[in-house]
Structures are given as C-alpha cells and as structure tokens.
A and B are shown apart, each in its own frame.
Chain A
C-alpha cells in the first residue's frame, strides 16, 4: 500500500452554528465558572486548529509517533462466513492500540499552545486514558485520569499502562462507577481548576466545542479509509459500520462519507443483556433528548429526567449519552443506529480472532456483530468496518466469560 501523509483537519461540512448546535442538538450547558475556559478553548480551536504550524506538527506526530496511516485490511475469512466483502480499518494498529490516540495527541498539542499547566481526562475502557497519558508524557504535561472503579477492575492492563506513562489515576466510586461517573468527576476537577487545567475529553460529547474538536481530530480515520479503499478496490463501500458509545470513532469514520449518498452508514450501540432499563447502553435506539455533561443530545433517562444506569460488556460503550452530531444524523436519517447484544459482540469477536488472526476490542466487536447482521440483509455487500481498537485489554473479561468457551 502506498504510504502517504495523513490528511489534515480543517473546515469541514457540518460545522455547528456559533452556539455549537447541530440542528437542535449540542450547545454548552456548563456552570458559569467554566464559561471563560470554554470561550478560551473555542478561540483556540478556531485560531490554532487550521494554522499551518499546528497542522504540520499534528500530521508529523500522527505519522512518526502514532503510526498513521493505519492499514486497511481485507478480511476474507469473515467475508466467506458472512457472504460479504469485508474491509477492516485497522485503528487497533495505531499507537497505544486504538483510535483514541488521534484525539489525544491533537488535543495535547492544542493544550500546549493554550499554555495549559495540567491535563485531566476521563476514561471508560482505559484506551482514552492510556492515549492521553502517553501524549502527555511526550509533551511533558502532568496528567490526571478519572476512571470508574468498576472499569479499573475490568480493564486492569490499561490502568497499569497509564501509571507507567506517569499519569495519576483516580478511582471514582459514585453512581455505577463507570464512564459516566468518571466524566462527572473529571468535570468537577475542571470546575475546581478552570484556569490552568486543560480538560481532554475523549469523545464527541460534552459542551461545544468538544464535539467539533474531537470530530476534526478523528476524521482522519474516514479520510484515510476512503482513499485507501478507492486506491485498492476502485470503489466506495456499500456500507460503513462503526460502534457508538460517545461516538468518536464512528463520527471519525462517517464524516468523510456523509456526502457519498450511495454509502449506507450504520452506528452500532451496545445492546447489553436486554432491552430493559439498566440492561443496555443503546442511547440512540432507546433514549430521548436531554442534557448531560454539557450537551443536549439523546440520553437514557427516566420520566423524571434522571440519567439511567447502563450495562455493556464493553466499558467503552457503557455510557448513557451520545454525541450531539449523532443525534442530528439520526434525526436526519443519514445514519442508521442499531444495537447488538453482549453475546452477539462476543461471538463476532471470537470469529474475527479465529478467521483473521485479529483480536478486536470488545467495543469494536460490536461493529463486527452489526456488520454481520447487515451482511444478512444485504448479501454480497462491500462492508467497511472501523476496527477501533485492539482487545488485549479485554483478556481478563474474555477469559472470565464462560471460561473462554464462547470462543469455541
């Protein structure tokens, strides 16, 4: 495959309006104490992101440090089993093992230009935490990562990696002690330290300008994949599929294809163990609009507006909110959102391991399971899947499930 420089961020279609709205969704619902920090960040995003100097450094870091462009891999084994032509965009091959590094290094470069003294972040699966810790180590910035204590247990290898990179990892016990509680606590840290602290949010959620900023930094995924697929196969995919928790790898993949009307775009949410409240994290499929963590978007909530607990075998998808741009794309009908169960995701993960020699993250396994379902609907389809991360972090979880028996 031809190795070319990763593409650059810049002004893209689908800019939010000046209040950070994507249609009805988005906005900035934060305490007044954070408004100057938000304005400072917004100004930085507007000034710095399109500057030649930033673009040059970001591209160089993506290429020389993070290992981009990542490969696009034909998956003939999965293709035969599913009756489809399957292509995997290999974000698992990026440095630190997931697409999260694209956003982390981009925001750390931005934080340094904004004279931040310290970085805070939340993490669910730990991939964003590891990416942030690594990027902060490289940039020489102190880093604090909030992580739910349940996630600390189920993603132990990533906790060790964050600590080795010099990050302080703070366990969060409130609520369900997962990603949502970690964001609550990271935002409280920011509320207490709004001047010198840079909050490095890991997904396309939160107050404006984060959904825009993170999308710009992640859209390298779709730009590379589209170009690679055209170069190798000469045609666009029929379907592009990605998993959706907050939705950063999905937006990153989809954005480049939004205007390709022939390409069906499908986001796959965590269906968990069932459709009752607390059994899943299928926000777009089963939620209704509300405000959480600074933005108006689809939300899993009860009739009183209290945010509901979620469940997914995948820590990175175990979140009751979703990025506002996804909410808009759902309402416009441009992207379809489906949910697959823990069981379907695990089964697809096993198939990918056995037939392709690739261990995907539990999050990415949801995209595989969704693609498998779509292949049944559309036999012979050419399907592009964002394999957003690698599954090494999930080995403990995998081995504890049915003693690994689902793999057989």
Chain B
C-alpha cells in the first residue's frame, strides 16, 4: 500500500460515524524539545498529524500560525531538521503524518531529494497552500513516483467543474476550506458551509476533511455527518499556549 493510500485508509473512519480528526502543529514549535513531546501526545489523540513547515511569508495563515512560524524559525526549525526529527518520531506512532508547506522551502530543498527524505522520515504526503493545480505538475509527479500524496484544497468559491478536477487530482484526502479567510480566527463558521461540504463529499472518492476556523466541540458537532472529519490547527496551538494538555483538548473536540 502506498503512503497516499495509507492516509486514505486512516481517514476513512471506523464506521461508527465519529468524525475523523487531523491535528496541525507547526514543526519545531515552540522549540525542538517541546515539539517532540507535543507531536507524540497529538499523534496519540488524532487520526493524522499535519506538521507545518514554518515559512517567512505565510500568506494563507492567520495570527496564531504566523506567530508559531516565526517562533519556530527563530528557534532553528528548518525543513531538513523537521524531517530528521520526524524520522525519529514516526516509528513511535502508527498515526500517519503529512507536511503542510508553502512552496518555496520545498523548491529550495529540491523535489527529488524531498520525496526521498520524506519517505525516510515516515511522511505520507504534502499540503501546499500556495500551489494551485495549474502549477502542481512538477511537485505532483515527484511525489507520486514515491507513492506520496499531494492533497488538494477546495473552497466554497470553487466552481463545480473545478471541484470535479480538484477532487480527481487529489490523493490521500480532500481538504475542504470552510470559508474565505486565513487559518484560525475567532468568528463562527458560516452556517451554510454544510451545503457546500455536502457537494464536495458527493464529488470526492476520497475522504473529505473540513478545515480553517474549527475551534470547538460545537464546531465539530455542526460538521459531523457532513464531512468525514475535521482539521484543527490554530485552536490546538492556542490550547498549547494556554498550557492545556493537547491530548485532552483534542479528545474534548469529539466528546
């Protein structure tokens, strides 16, 4: 089974109807020691871990992840180091891992080397928020040769034709952005987003996970049944910053 198929299997659900959970953590946040600890705690409490590669100009991210990226970079996190840490961490968990990275750090690393080192580090796929499908072929083919997923994002503004294209091009799962905005934020999820999520789910052969602005058990309950699962990022980092136990915080979202 390829790494991409392992993602799909891990996110397909256990038939109980309980929503799946992807947890996001910025790699190297707040520093190497605590990242290692948090990673294992988080991996034990979710279905897939999304590790963010910090970038100097995160244009799709809100304040929480902007700040986390800045702190992680200041404390020495790089793509190379994060892959080295993950090579030691992933054997300690069965939860698959994907990387979320803006394109430039991946370009600088080199795609062939990236695919090779990602495999070694136990990484299963990539989410690249500034890489629309029109520009994705070079990275996509380097990853698919190694069986790694390149996960596509869809949004409420995506046209039906484009939704079909993006769902067909995605591998691993389909990441459905809940609303027009950056990650995190305090505002409530738009009530009509469940209609759009239903359309994504009808189109996709892969599990559909909703992300951006999901912060509470109420949010998760609202989306449950309309998607296969949810992605929680900024809210988890805020919880870590408040000193909460990440495992308990994540468990609370599905309670």
Within 8 Å by CB of A294, from B70, B107, B130, B182, lies B130
CB contacts (< 8 Å) of A174 on chain B: these are 66, 70
Q: Say yes or no: is B173 at the interface (Cβ < 8 Å to chain A).
A: no
Cβ proximity bits A302-317 to B, threshold 8 Å, 1 near / 0 not: 0111110000000000
Contact A188 B107 (CB under 8 A): no
Q: A272 at the A/B interface (Cβ < 8 Å)?
A: no
By the criterion CB–CB under 8 Å, are B105 and A29 in contact? Answer: no
- On whether the beta carbons of B157 and A33 are closer than 8 Å, the reply is yes
**Interface: B218 (CB within 8 A):** no
Say whether B180 contacts A192, CB under 8 Å.
yes
Please judge, given known A-B contacts A29-B132, A304-B105, whether A188 and B159 are in contact too, CB under 8 Å: no
Residues A31 and B60 in contact, CB atoms below 8 Å apart: yes
Interface members, chain B 155-172 (any A CB < 8 Å): 155, 157-159, 162, 166
B248 contacts A by Cβ under 8 Å: no
Mark the stretch among A83-91, A285-293, A397-405 that contacts chain B.
A285-293
Per the CB 8 Å criterion, the residue count for chain B at the interface is: 40
A175 at the interface (CB under 8 A from B): yes
Min Cβ gap B207→A in Å is: 18
Complex contacts, A307 vs chain B, CB 8 Å: 56-57, 104
Check if B155 sits within 8 Å of A180, measured CB to CB.
no
Kindly specify which of B17-25, B73-81, B86-94, B140-148 makes contact with the partner chain.
B73-81
Q: How far is the CA of A304 from the CA of B76 in the complex (A)?
A: 11
Given contacts A19-B134, A305-B104, contact A32 B153 (CB under 8 A): yes
* A184 is an interface residue with CB less than 8 A from chain B: yes
- Whether B104 contacts A31 by the Cβ 8 Å rule is no
Distance of A294 Cα from B152 Cα, bound (Å):
17
A186 to chain B, nearest CB (A): 10
B153 contacts A31, CB within 8 Å?
A: yes
- 1/0 per residue B44-66: CB within 8 Å of A? 00000000000111111010001
Q: Would you give the shortest CB distance from B60 to chain A, in whole angstroms?
A: 5
Q: Which residues of chain B have C-beta atoms less than 8 A from A407's C-beta?
A: none
- Report Cα–Cα, A291/B131, bound state, in Å: 10
The residues of B that contact A292 with a CB separation of less than 8 Å are 57, 104
Could you tell me the distance in whole angstroms from the C-beta of A370 to the nearest C-beta in chain B?
Answer: 29
B106 on the interface (CB 8 Å rule)? yes
Partner of A304, one of B80, B134, B153: B80
In the complex, the answer to whether A30 meets B66 with C-beta atoms within 8 Å is no
Closest residue of chain B to A38 (Cβ to Cβ) is: B132
Which among A19, A31, A180, A290 is the interface contact of B107 at CB below 8 angstroms? A290
Contact check, A32 vs B57: say whether CB atoms are below 8 A apart.
no
Residue of A nearest to B156 (CB): A33
Let me know if B7 is at the binding interface, CB within 8 A.
no
CB distance from B197 to the nearest CB of A (A): 15
CB interface residues, B 179-207, toward A, < 8 Å = 180-182
> How far apart are B74's CB and chain A's nearest CB, in angstroms?
11
Contact A291 B155 (CB under 8 A): no
Q: Is the CB of B181 within 8 A of A30?
A: no
Contacts of A148 in B (CB 8 A): none
Chain B CB within 8 A of A97 CB: no
Residues of A within 8 A of B242 (CB): none
Nearest CB in chain B: distance from A245 CB, A: 17
Give the size range of A's interface with the partner: 20 to 34
Q: Are B135 and A28 in contact (CB under 8 A)?
A: yes
- Residues on the B chain within 8 Å of A306, using CB: 55-56, 73, 104-105
Distance A188 CA – B66 CA, assembled complex (angstroms): 11
Q: Are B130 and A291 in contact (CB under 8 A)?
A: yes
Which residues on the A side are within 8 Å of B107 (C-beta)?
A: 290-291, 305
**Which of A28, A33, A192, A193 has the most CB atoms of chain B within a 10 A radius of its CB?**
A33
Chain A positions 269 through 303: 1 when the CB is less than 8 Å from some CB of chain B, otherwise 0:
00000000000000000000011111000010101
Q: Is the CB of B155 within 8 A of A33?
A: yes
Q: Is A35 an interface residue (CB 8 A)?
A: yes
Q: Is the CB of B105 within 8 A of A195?
A: no
Residues in chain A near residue B155, CB distance under 8 A: 32-33
Max chain A CB contacts within 10 Å: which of B58, B80, B109, B181? B181
For chain A, residues 181 to 197, give those with C-beta under 8 angstroms from any C-beta of chain B.
184, 187-188, 191-195
The distance in angstroms between the C-alpha atoms of A36 and B73, with both chains bound, is 32
Q: A9 in the interface, Cβ–Cβ < 8 Å?
A: no
With the chains together, A33 CA to B156 CA distance in Å? 8
Contact B154 A193 (CB under 8 A): no
Write out the residue numbers on chain B whose beta carbons fall within 8 Å of the beta carbon of A28: 132, 134-135
Chain B 95-110 residues near chain A, CB threshold 8 A: 102-109
Q: Distance in Å from the Cβ of A346 to the closest Cβ of chain B?
A: 29
Any B CB within 8 A of the CB of A360:
no
Chain A: minimal CB distance from B180 (Å):
5
Known contacts A191-B60, A291-B130; is-contact A36 B159 (Cβ 8 Å) = yes
User: Is A27's CB within 8 Å of the partner chain B?
Assistant: yes
Q: What 4 A-B pairs come out closest when comparing CB atoms? A: A305-B108, A305-B105, A305-B104, A307-B56
Residue pairs across A and B with Cβ atoms less than 8 A apart, 8 shown, are A31-B59, A31-B129, A32-B132, A188-B182, A191-B59, A291-B130, A292-B104, A306-B73
Residues of A within 8 A of B (CB): 19, 27-33, 35-36, 174-175, 180, 184, 187-188, 191-195, 290-294, 299, 301, 303-307
